[in-house]
Amino acid sequence: MFCVANIESEWRFDPSSLYSLSDEVAIVTGAASGLGRAIAYGLAECGASVVVADIDSDGADDVADLIGDSAVSKRVDVTKPESVESLREFTLDRYGDYSIVFNIPGTNVRKSVFELSLEDWNRVLEVNLTGMFVCAKVLGRHLVDREDGSVINMASGRASNTGPEQSAYSASKAGVVQLTKVLAAEWAPDVRVNAMSPGYTKTRLVREAMEDEEWYEEMRKQHLLGRFAEPREIVGGAVFLASEASTYATGSVLTIDGGWSA
């Protein structure tokens, strides 16, 4: 007969402790708005000290001020290695260490292939994919050297579920998924690298797009839950991938898309 008393001691623990980020330092790029902002708040609420990094320095300042003493802000341009290096040194000077990196910045140009200029294409790929590579390369070095840490890259449901006028964005996010898997392979077993793939979430930019009622209804119906996500519904997955709750996950893509991909 199964008996709880016979469970080996290492199987008995407080599950809530797995999600604690106390004494951890997290760098969140793209944290001035949208999902980056929500994730920065969530990590801080779970005990982490957070470096709120964004090219929008005023927005980053606002987020850090709202979080309070457990956050600082730093301007960063993720497409420029010297700027990301400055972010790394700033964090190490301030905290002496960091163990969590969220790579979130992204942009989009919604045009058909025939309308999309090479300049538009290059800009989307530069921010969404090259910026991801630069942050991983520069910020990941410290994690590899310390032989521990978690990197989370922001992919998108558009990496696999695409549509018209999404060529650059979809290609860039599909590249993020593959880059994530390569990094996981190269940095195993010490550093875990995963990606998040959210569906449409009610950030400021998405709310603006929702004003096009025809577009919104078409997209809403593609999500099995029949709605777009609230930012807080993505934060739980972010905390999971940053914390000890996911220590056996690497090279994976966590899909939180309301059934869009199903």
pLDDT digits (tens, 9 = 90+) for 34-77: 999 999 999 999 999 999 999 999 999 999 999 999 999 999 99
Question: Is residue 159 within 8 Å of 177, Cβ to Cβ?
Answer: yes
Distance of alpha carbon 60 from alpha carbon 66, whole angstroms: 10
For 223-260, letters b (16+ CB in 10 Å) and e give beeeebbebebbbebbbbbbbebbeeebbbbbbbbbeb
pTM, entire model: 0.92
Contacts of 125 (CB under 8 A, 6+ apart): 168, 171, 172, 175
What CA–CA distance (Å, rounded) separates 193 from 175?
14
**Distance from C-alpha of 108 to C-alpha of 34, rounded to nearest angstrom:** 14
- Which sequence positions are flagged as catalytic? 169
At residue 2 the predicted structure's pLDDT band, cuts being 50, 70 and 90, is: very low
pLDDT at residue 162 is higher than 90: no
Answer yes or no: are the C-beta atoms of 87 and 139 closer than 8 Å: yes
Reading the block at residue 31, the tokens are 């944290």
Tell me if 141 sits within 8 A of 183, measured CB to CB: no
**CATH 3.40.109.10 is right for the domain spanning 22-200+231-256:** no
Q: How far apart are CA 9 and CA 184, in angstroms?
A: 31
Q: How far apart are CA 103 and CA 136, in angstroms?
A: 8
Q: Which two tokens stand for residue 115?
A: 């309308």
pLDDT value of position 166 = 83
User: So what's the pLDDT on residue 1?
Assistant: 44
CA-based R_g, the chain, Å: 19
**What mean pLDDT, rounded, does the chain reach?**
93
Query: Which pLDDT tens digit goes with each residue over 72-115?
Result: 999 999 999 999 999 999 999 999 999 999 999 988 888 989 99
pLDDT score of 6 more than 60: no
Contact 56, 127 (CB under 8 A): no
Share of the chain above pLDDT 70, in %: 95
Q: Is the pLDDT of residue 8 over 60?
A: no
